C-alpha cells in the first residue's frame, strides 16, 4: 500500500472516531446519572454538570448550626468602617510645613510608609525637607537585617545622608550627633511589648532629647494589640537591658505617641513633645487595608498572626525551643527535634484554652537553633479576642517542661537567664520551675497591670 492510500485511510479513521467513538457522544454516557442525595442527607444539591456526572453539594442549615454553635465569638477584631489615616499621611497632606527651616533628624525604618506605601524619606525629600541625620533601630533602616552592626555611622546609599545605627556597639544615641539638630522626627511601627527593642530605642531618644532640650515630633501609628489590656509586671530593678528598658508592664498596649506622652508626663519632665495623632484608629478594630499592606516591623513578624503570637511565645527565646525562625511561620511554629509533640498537643487540648487553635507541625529551620534539623512541634492560630497570649505561652511551656524534664532547659550565662530579661524579673521562670498553675502565676502581676491600665486612661489618644 503506497503512502497516498495510507494517508487517506488514516483521515477516514480519524473522522469516524470523532463522529462515533468520542467520549462526548459515547452511548455509555448518554443516560443521566443520579447525584445520590440519599448518601448526603445533610446536604443540598448546589449545582450539577454534564447530566449529573459532576455534583456539587452545599451544607444545609442544620449542619451549619452544628458547626457554628461554639463559634459565636470567633473574631479577633471588629471591622473598621473607615481607613486609618496615620500621622505620616496627615503630615504629608500638610506638606510637612512644621519642618520648614528646621534642621532635623529622622528615626524610621521600612514601616515608615504612607497609605500608598511610599517611604517617608522619599516623601520628605520630594517635599524639600531633607533630614540632616537618619537614625536606624534594630534590623536597620530597610528592616532586612537580623544581626548587630559593626559601624556606628554609615551613609544612606541614594542621598548620602549619614545614618546613626542604634543597634551596634552603641544602643543609646551619643549626644554629640544630636546637638546640632533642632528637632527629631520619629515615624516607626512598634509592637507594644517591653522586649520589642524599638521601644528601648525610642526611650533612649526621648531621654537624649530631654537632656538636650530638643523637640520630638512623633508621627503616630497603629498597633495590633488593642484587643488586650496590659499584662505582666513592671520592669524590676536589676533586670534592665536592651530587651527590657521601658518602665511599663510587659504588654502595655500603647501607640508610640501614647507611650511618648506617658514618658514625658512621668519621667522626662523637660521634654518638648509634639504628636501628630492618627484619624479613624480604634484599638479593638482592624483596618484590613493596613493588614493587607502589612510591612514586617522586623524580619520574623511577617504577618499579623505572628505579631499576635509573639506576645506569649517570645519567652521561648530564653529556652532551647525553636520558635520557627528560619521558616515561613515564625512564632506560629515552635518545637524541637526531641519534642513529644503528640503528647504536648493532647495536654494543650485538655486545657480548652479560649480563642486559639493548635495542631501538629514538622519543620526544618534554615537558621537559628536547630538549623537544618527536623523539628516536631505545635502550630498556633489565634481566632478570637478571648485569646490570652500570656496564658497560652505559659501553659505551653509548663507542658513541655513536665513532659521533657531532661531535654528542656533555660538559656543562661553566668546564672543570668535570658528569659528573666525578657519578662523583666525572674518570676516567670520561677513559676515554671515550681509548676504554678496560670491563675497562681497571674496573681503575681495582675495588680500592676491593672494599675497601669488605670493611669494610662489619662494619656490615651484613641
Domain check: are 27 and 100 in the same one?
no
pLDDT computed for residue 332 by the predictor? 97
Task: Let me know if residue 201 belongs to a domain.
Answer: yes
What's the CATH code of the domain at 432?
A: 3.90.1150.140
Where does the pLDDT of residue 211 fall: very low under 50, low under 70, confident under 90, or very high at 90 and above? very high
30 has pLDDT over 70: no
Domain check: are 142 and 195 in the same one?
yes
Task: Let me know if residue 76 belongs to a domain.
Answer: no
Domain check: are 329 and 273 in the same one?
no
Domain end residue (candidates: 255, 287, 319)? 287
Domain check: are 236 and 331 in the same one?
no
pTM across the whole model: 0.86
pLDDT computed for residue 290 by the predictor? 67
CA dist., res. 272 & res. 261, Å (int): 10
pLDDT computed for residue 287 by the predictor? 76
Domain check: are 170 and 280 in the same one?
yes
Tell me the average pLDDT across 348-372. Answer: 96
Domain end residue (candidates: 67, 100, 120)? 67
pLDDT computed for residue 65 by the predictor? 81
Helices 389-403 and 341-350 pack at an angle, to 10 degrees, of: 130
CA dist., res. 419 & res. 314, Å (int): 9
What's the CATH code of the domain at 123?
A: 3.40.50.12170
Q: Are strands 333-336 and 78-79 parallel, antiparallel or unpaired?
A: unpaired
Q: Are strands 43-49 and 54-59 parallel, antiparallel or unpaired?
A: antiparallel
pLDDT computed for residue 21 by the predictor? 42
Summarised one tens digit per residue, pLDDT across range 423-458 is 999 999 999 999 999 999 999 999 999 999 999 999
The three-state DSSP-derived secondary structure of the chain is CCHHHHHHHHHHHHHHHHHHCCHHHCHHHCCCCCCCHHHCCCEEEEEEECCCCEEEEEECHHHHHHHHCCCCCCCCCEECCCCCECHHHHHHHCCCHHHCCCCEEEEECCCCECCCCCEHHHHHHHCCCCCCEEEECCCCCCCCCCCCCCCCEEECCCCCCEEEECCCCCCCCCHHHCCCCCEEEEECCCCCECCCCHHHHHHHHHHHHHHHCCEEEEECCCCCCCCCCCECCCCCCCCCECCECCCCCCECCCCHHHHHHHHHHHCCCCCEEEEECCECCCCCEECHHHHHCCCCCCCCCCCHHHHHHHHHHHHHHHECCECCCCCCCECCEEEECCCCHHHHHHHHHHCCCCCEEEEEEEECCCCCCCCCCCEEEEEEEECCCCCCHHHHHHHHHHHHHHHCCCCCCECEECCEEHHHHHHCCCHHHHHHHHCCCHHHHHHCCHHHHHHHHHHHCCCCCC
Task: Let me know if residue 396 belongs to a domain.
Answer: yes
Where does the pLDDT of residue 74 fall: very low under 50, low under 70, confident under 90, or very high at 90 and above? low
Q: What distances in angstroms separate CA 172 from CA 152, 176, 257, one per listed residue?
A: 11, 12, 20
Domain check: are 357 and 208 in the same one?
no
- Other C-beta atoms lying within 10 Å of the C-beta of residue 191: 20
Where does the pLDDT of residue 32 fall: very low under 50, low under 70, confident under 90, or very high at 90 and above? low
Q: Which residue has the higher pLDDT, 143 or 73?
A: 143
Instruction: Residue 204: name the closest of 174, 168, 235 by CA.
Output: 174
Domain check: are 342 and 279 in the same one?
no
Tell me the average pLDDT across 234-239. Answer: 96
The residue length of the chain stands at 462
CA dist., res. 169 & res. 172, Å (int): 10
Task: Let me know if residue 1 belongs to a domain.
Answer: no
Domain check: are 171 and 229 in the same one?
yes
Domain check: are 344 and 204 in the same one?
no
Domain check: are 133 and 221 in the same one?
yes
Task: Let me know if residue 77 belongs to a domain.
Answer: no
Domain check: are 185 and 277 in the same one?
yes
Tell me the average pLDDT across 180-200. Answer: 97
Task: Let me know if residue 293 belongs to a domain.
Answer: no
Number of domains observed in the structure of the chain: 3
Task: Let me know if residue 7 belongs to a domain.
Answer: no
pLDDT computed for residue 63 by the predictor? 80
Domain end residue (candidates: 248, 265, 287)? 287
Where does the pLDDT of residue 34 fall: very low under 50, low under 70, confident under 90, or very high at 90 and above? confident
Task: Let me know if residue 296 belongs to a domain.
Answer: no
52 has pLDDT over 90: no
Domain check: are 279 and 139 in the same one?
yes
CA dist., res. 266 & res. 273, Å (int): 13
Q: What distances in angstroms separate CA 157 from CA 4, 103, 161, 162, 163, one per listed residue?
A: 73, 21, 8, 9, 10
Tell me the average pLDDT across 197-224. Answer: 97
Instruction: Residue 207: name the closest of 260, 258, 257, 277 by CA.
Output: 260
113 has pLDDT over 50: yes
Q: Residue 113 sits in which domain range?
A: 87-287
Amino acid at each position: 500500500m503506497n503512502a497516498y492510500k495510507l494517508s487517506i485511510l488514516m483521515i477516514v479513521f480519524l473522522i469516524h472516531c470523532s463522529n462515533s467513538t468520542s467520549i462526548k457522544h459515547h452511548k455509555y454516557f448518554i443516560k443521566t446519572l443520579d447525584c445520590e442525595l440519599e448518601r448526603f442527607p445533610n446536604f443540598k444539591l448546589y449545582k450539577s454538570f454534564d447530566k449529573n456526572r459532576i455534583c456539587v453539594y452545599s451544607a444545609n442549615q442544620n449542619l451549619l448550626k452544628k458547626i457554628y454553635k461554639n463559634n459565636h465569638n470567633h473574631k479577633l477584631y471588629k471591622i473598621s468602617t473607615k481607613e486609618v489615616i496615620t500621622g505620616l499621611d496627615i503630615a504629608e497632606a500638610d506638606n510637612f510645613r512644621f519642618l520648614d527651616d528646621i534642621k532635623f533628624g529622622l528615626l524610621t525604618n521600612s514601616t515608615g510608609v504612607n497609605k500608598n506605601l511610599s517611604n517617608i524619606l522619599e516623601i520628605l525629600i520630594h517635599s524639600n525637607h531633607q533630614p540632616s541625620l537618619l537614625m536606624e533601630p534594630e534590623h536597620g533602616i530597610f528592616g532586612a537585617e537580623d544581626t548587630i552592626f559593626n559601624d556606628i555611622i554609615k551613609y544612606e546609599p541614594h542621598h548620602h545622608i549619614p545614618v546613626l545605627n542604634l543597634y551596634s556597639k552603641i544602643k543609646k544615641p551619643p549626644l554629640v550627633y544630636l546637638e546640632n539638630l533642632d528637632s527629631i522626627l520619629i515615624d516607626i511601627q512598634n509592637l507594644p511589648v517591653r522586649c520589642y527593642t524599638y521601644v528601648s530605642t525610642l526611650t533612649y531618644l526621648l531621654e537624649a532629647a530631654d537632656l538636650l532640650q530638643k523637640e520630638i515630633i512623633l508621627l503616630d501609628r497603629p498597633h495590633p494589640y488593642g484587643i488586650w489590656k496590659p499584662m505582666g509586671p513592671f520592669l524590676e530593678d536589676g533586670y534592665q537591658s536592651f530587651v527590657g528598658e521601658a518602665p511599663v508592664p510587659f504588654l502595655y498596649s500603647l501607640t508610640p505617641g501614647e507611650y511618648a506622652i506617658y514618658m514625658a508626663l512621668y519621667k522626662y519632665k523637660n521634654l518638648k513633645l509634639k504628636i501628630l495623632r492618627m484619624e479613624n484608629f480604634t484599638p479593638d478594630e482592624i483596618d484590613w487595608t493596613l493588614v493587607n499592606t502589612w510591612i514586617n516591623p522586623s524580619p520574623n513578624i511577617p504577618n499579623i498572626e505572628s505579631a499576635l503570637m509573639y506576645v506569649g511565645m517570645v519567652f521561648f527565646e530564653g529556652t532551647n525551643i525553636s520558635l520557627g525562625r528560619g521558616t515561613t511561620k515564625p512564632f506560629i511554629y515552635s518545637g524541637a527535634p526531641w519534642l513529644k509533640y503528640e503528647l504536648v498537643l493532647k495536654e494543650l487540648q485538655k486545657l480548652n484554652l479560649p480563642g486559639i487553635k493548635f495542631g501538629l507541625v514538622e519543620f526544618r529551620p534554615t537558621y537559628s537553633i536547630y538549623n537544618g534539623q527536623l523539628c516536631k512541634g505545635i502550630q498556633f492560630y489565634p481566632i478570637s479576642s478571648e485569646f490570652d497570649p500570656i496564658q497560652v505561652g505559659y501553659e505551653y511551656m509548663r507542658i513541655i517542661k513536665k513532659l521533657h524534664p531532661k531535654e528542656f532547659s533555660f538559656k543562661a550565662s553566668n546564672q543570668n537567664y535570658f528569659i528573666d530579661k525578657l519578662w523583666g524579673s525572674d518570676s516567670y521562670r520561677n513559676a515554671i520551675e515550681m509548676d504554678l498553675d496560670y491563675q497562681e502565676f497571674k496573681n503575681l502581676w495582675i495588680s500592676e497591670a491593672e494599675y497601669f491600665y488605670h493611669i494610662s486612661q489619662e494619656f490615651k489618644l484613641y
